[in-house]
Structure 1
Amino acid sequence: MQAWQVHENGEPGEVMRLTEVPPPTPAEGQVLLKVRAANVNFPDALLCRGQYQVRPPLPFTPGVEVCAETEDGRRVLATPALPHGGFAEYTVADAAALLPAPDALDDAEAAALHIGYQTGWFGLHRRARLEAGETLLVHAAAGGVGSAAVQLGKAAGARVIGVVGGPEKAAAARSLGCDVVVDRRSEDVITAVKDATGGHGADVIYDPVGGAAYRQSAKTVAFEGRIVVVGFASGDIPAPALNHALVKNYAILGLHWGLYNTKSPAVVRQCHEQLTELAAQGVVKPLVSERVSLDGAAAAVQRVADGVTTGRVAVVTDDSEKGEAA
């Protein structure tokens, strides 16, 4: 079979190589899956760079979420068991963690519903306890993780402010349902958010960026607000001033979604059931901006690493889906 492999750490476009390898052999408790679509995530770039919290042995295949087909014909969502990631024709995953793919979504959309939307749901509901009528601020609102949070925030009845970089991403954020869009390249984020909230600030802030975005969050969070730290796509891990959190009376909440798979897997399934229902109602629909074939995976991961993509990029094996945009 064909699979992308990383033999040394570095930038995805330089170290990912498409090779012929035998299909992986499932370990005990695992199943072999035929990949239908693999969603590109920022962690795939971090894996290539050797900067992710999980460091699989070299060589490995990146690709951390897929829509795939079991040997008995079921269409499922899975997080592949590294080092056998999803940018391949076949992968393996833990049988107990498979989730049914929503009928309302095609393969690329279904693959994109998994990690990003689960992260958004857990961040907004389990960690921040977002309530209807509150104001939600989402950094990188047109990106893969941010776009999921925007849709889930709107579904929860929140007023959503999206922070983006550039007019193309601003248009995407508006199409996702943002009530207010702030272009950080042409506007002062802190001033714009304070103006949009009448000085109140944002009740919940969803931050997958870190760095300057976090510093903006600390200056725009409301009284009794909650900042949800999801990741550090900027590469800058901030050191928050806890005295500031004390004086302004806000909470800093960390979210590592993967822990729920081991600590509370039943809640992961409950979340998936809710996401499936929202997809069936048309309330959430992953923004898949690009579908590429398997041979375009390395370039796609590099574009995501460079921060130039909008929504999700999916690697698909179904010719009917290639080149389409949702």
Structure 2
Amino acid sequence: MRAYHMPASGGPPRLLQIDASQPGSEQIQVRIFACGLNFADLLMLNATYQDTPDLPFTLGMEISGVITALGAQVSGFAVGDRVAVFCGHGGLAESGAFAASRAVKIPDQMSFEQAAAFQIAYGTSHVALDHCARLRPGETLLVTGAAGGAGLTAVEIGKQMGARVIAQARGADKLAVARAAGADHLIDAGDDLTEVVKALGGADVVYDVVGGALWKAAFRATNPGGRLLPIGFASGDIPQIPANHLLVKNLTVIGFYIGGYLKSHPEVVRGSLDRLLGWFVEGRLHPHISHCLPLERVAEGMDLLRNRKSTGKVVITMPGQPI
């Protein structure tokens, strides 16, 4: 099979022919039809992601496809089931063997592309805002990087949870995407975020995927008793948090990483995903995919993420999807 593979010798990834993996006793084998790209894939390229596997490995954190074989101890699935898998790596390939515990059946209404764009971004935003930050109806949610994969889902989920949403993004086109997802107020990259948010009454919850100067500005604009979620550091600048300011304003900073929750609190992630899939079936969620590219163009998809040229998700598709 073809796979976008990090070789054992190191160096850049390449599209190679490698042997297909056979499922272990608790695994399913999946014919992969789509793989969602994530910012973490870029970090894995540089071995700076907290869950980068040992070389050699195939990139790609979340996939969708059809089950082609089952391990001896797998129950609840059948050959032919349409599934999505939060696999962590191994997704940028034509086939893969993955833990059945990481898989979920996808609704008939959901395309393979939508399914491959769903679990990480929506799961991160929903668990962070609902389980961790306890966002309440009527509160004000500030989202930075609001047109990206995670940020855009935070806008959409924040509205579903009854919040007033302030979205920060760069440029009119990205702000229009955030507006379409439900944002009530928009902040461009050149605006004074602290000043604008304070003029709107301050933020009760901050969902920050950028870090750096934007984190500091959002921190200053957070209301007393507010909750801040450092979800990512797309700026490359990991901020230091002044504990004395937390004390004075009674602020709470909540670290959240969905990969860690899958290990420590899998029932929370599974319950969140069940609710999110229900919302999708009800027509309340609309995954935004700005680019679908074939496997041969993975490097182009990575560049779209690296250069901030995409909105929502970039999805890589494999040949031979069933009609």
- What TM-score does the superposition give when structure 2 sets the normalisation length? 0.92
The one-character-per-residue Cα deviations of 1:33-82 (angstroms, maximum 9, x if unpaired) are: 11111001000110111110012122221100011211111111112264
Give the unaligned 5+ runs of structure 2. 69-78
Q: Which 10-residue stretch deviates more, 296-305 or 271-280?
A: 296-305
Aligned pairs for 1:184-203 within 5 A: 184=189, 186-197=190-201, 201-203=202-204
CA distance in 1, matches of 2:85, 2:286: 18
Who is 2:278 aligned against? 277
**TM-fit CA distance, 1:178:** 0.4
CA distance in 2, matches of 1:154, 1:256: 22
Q: Say if 2:10 is the partner of 1:5.
A: no
Indicate which of 96, 105, 114 corresponds to 1:109: 114
Measure, in 1, the Cα distance between the counterparts of 2:308 and 2:111.
Answer: 25
Shift of the alpha carbon at 1:319? 7.0
- Counterpart residue type for residue 174 of structure 1: R
Structure 1: which 4+ aligned runs deviate by more than 3 Å?
318-321
Alignment of 1:157-306 (within 5 A): 157-184=162-189, 186-197=190-201, 201-306=202-307
Matched position secondary structure for 1:289: strand
Native 8 Å contact 2:60 2:92 kept in 1:
yes
Is residue 33–residue 319 contact of structure 2 (8 Å, CA) maintained in 1? yes
**Secondary structure, counterpart of 1:70 in structure 2:** strand
1:9–1:49 contact (8 Å) kept in structure 2: no
1:97 Cα deviation after fit: 2.1
Letter in 1 for 2:166: I
Q: Is the 8 A contact 1:108 1:314 kept in 2?
A: yes
**Offset at residue 260 of structure 1 (A):** 2.1
CA contact (8 A) 2:142 2:206 kept: yes
Q: Cα deviations across residues 150-191 of structure 1 (Å, max 9, x unaligned)?
A: 11000001000000011111111111110001001x311111
Asked whether the 8 Å contact 1:81–1:94 carries over to 2, the reply is no
Counterpart in the other structure of 1:324: none
Q: How does 1:1-40 map to 2 (within 5 A)?
A: 1-7=1-7, 15-40=12-37
* TM-score (ref. length: structure 1): 0.91
Residues in 2 aligned to 1:88 and 1:220: alpha-carbon distance in whole angstroms? 44
Q: Secondary structure at the match of 2:3?
A: strand
Does structure 2 conserve the Cα–Cα contact (< 8 Å) formed by 1:137 and 1:204?
yes
Instruction: Give SS of 2:35's match.
Output: strand
Give RMSD over aligned pairs.
1.6
Of 110, 131, 137, the residue aligned with 1:126 is: 131
| Offset, 1:113 | 1.2
Q: Any idea what SS the aligned residue of 2:315 has?
A: strand
Identity %: 37
Aligned length: 311
Contact 2:22 2:29 in 1 (8 A): yes
- Contact residue 124 and residue 130 of structure 1 kept, 8 A: yes
Contact 2:62 2:85 survives alignment (8 Å): yes
2:46 pairs, out of 36, 49, 55, with 49
Q: Please point out which of 121, 144, 149 is paired with 1:139.
A: 144
Structure 2 equivalent of residue 60 of structure 1: 57
Question: 1:254 is paired with a residue of what secondary structure?
Answer: coil
| Counterparts of 1:144 and 1:127, CA distance in 2 | 19
Comparing 259-268 with 136-145, greater Cα deviation is found at 259-268
Corresponding position: 1:73 with 2:77 = no
Q: Distance in 1 between matches of 2:147 and 2:197?
A: 17
Residues of 2 paired with 1:73 and 1:240: CA distance? 49
